[in-house]
Amino acid sequence: MTDLSTLILERIRDVPDYPKPGVTFKDITPLLADHAAFNAVVDSLATGFQVDKIVGIEARGFIFAAPVAYHRGAGFVPVRKKGKLPAAVLEESYDLEYGSATIEVHDDAFSPGDRVLIVDDVLATGGTAAAAVDLVRRAGGEVAGVSVLMELAFLKGRERLKGVDVRSLVIV
């Protein structure tokens, strides 16, 4: 295991039965509060990607995507929950365990051919990331990859992202 994986695993707190029974929530707040760990994660999330824009997925994705964009000299684009963005949007809906969710992006967020990296904290079932990939492509961006802090391998999110370069700093 690398030093970075160890650092991340030591700073992510498992909260059992949150937000509902049977779910173990990966709480990133101890990692964010640790300057060295937060810096190392921001430095690593975009390593190896050539990018023009970084997409952050609301809400915890924003925390990582904005400093990654600054660090890499790229633009930041928010993908938000339905109804939060003020101008014209494209939307994608996807299934959750119970019900569905909709995310949106401004329809003019990308220039044609922009290389876009999608950043989030946790890759679980992959529904959110797959919807973000579809949104970026429909809005004219070229998806360079999906980069997450932590991947929950048992939920097989990668299988919904076939053909996409998916990278995780730690896989559990």
**Residues interacting with ligand AMP, by CB under 6 A?**
23-26, 57, 60, 120-129, 157
Closest distance of CB 73 from ligand AMP, Å: 25
**Separation CA 66–CA 75 (nearest Å):** 9
Distance CA 26, CA 18 (A): 9
d(CA 7, CA 34): 10
151 is catalytic: no
Shortest distance, CB of residue 24 to ligand AMP, whole angstroms?
6
Nearer to ligand AMP by C-beta: 108 or 159?
Answer: 159
State the nearest-atom distance from the C-beta of 54 to ligand AMP, in Å.
Answer: 15
Minimum CB–partner distance for residue 151 and ligand AMP (Å): 9
In the bound state with ligand AMP, the residue whose beta carbon lies nearer, of 26 and 72, is: 26
User: Please, which residue, 85 or 129, has the CB nearer to ligand AMP?
Assistant: 129
**Collapsed DSSP state (helix, strand, coil) of residue 151:** strand
Q: How far is the C-alpha of 77 from the C-alpha of 2, rounded, in Å?
A: 30
Instruction: Identify the active-site residue in 11, 60, 72, 80.
Output: 60
Look up 115 and say whether it is catalytic: no
Cis peptide before 59 (omega within 30 of 0): yes
E strands present in 70-114? 75-81, 89-95, 100-106
Choose the catalytic residue: 13, 80, 92, 97.
97
Q: Which residues are catalytic?
A: 60, 97
